[in-house]
Amino acid sequence: MKILYLIRHAKSSWDNQDQTDFERPLNKRGEHDAPLMANILNKKKVEPDLIISSPAKRAFSTALIFAEKLDYNLNSVKTDDRIYEAGMRELMTLVREIDDRNKTVMIFGHNPGLTSFTNLLGDKFIPGMPTCSIVGLEFDATKWAQVERHSGKIFLFEYPKKQKIN
């Protein structure tokens, strides 16, 4: 059994027009929402074996907040350049390359790639992943290389506005 959490970065700031898209930091809402969402996984006792993030500032910052809340070593958070502006092919290659010793993996990235990838892998259609949303997928597989189209069962879909409604 393999478990994959796809997490879109928290809300980012557009205040500084001189910053590149890659350099944009989290805004106040993002800094509030990331710990809120990480706590959902913490309450479920999720223990990631591996966290991989886009190196973009907003994604990596989100990953570090989750890592801290989940007692994951901050120095062990990996970055992979392929996640920034990734399409489904790049994300599938990344997943299939994950070391099989890792059972529970989190990938922090961006839209539209994460939503498309979720719909490629999952058994339910998700129209869009809002900022700081989490999709949990479970695969009946012993190797990450066995992950393929629609082989994942979506068992979790959470996002900040859903938490504010409840």
Q: In terms of residue numbers, what domain contains 132?
A: 2-12+21-165
d(CA 19, CA 148): 37
Helix or strand (DSSP H, E) at 157: strand 152-158
Q: What is the pTM of this model?
A: 0.96
At residue 13, the pLDDT reads: 87
C-beta neighbour count of 31 within 10 angstroms: 16
Q: What confidence tens digit (pLDDT) does each residue in 96-151 have?
A: 999 999 999 999 999 999 999 999 999 999 999 999 999 999 999 999 999 999 99
Helices and strands counted in the chain (H then E): 5, 6
Number of domains in the chain: 1
- CATH number of the domain that 72 lies in? 3.40.50.1240
Question: Among residues of the chain, what percentage have pLDDT more than 90?
Answer: 89
Beta strands in 29-130 (DSSP E): 50-53, 78-79, 104-109
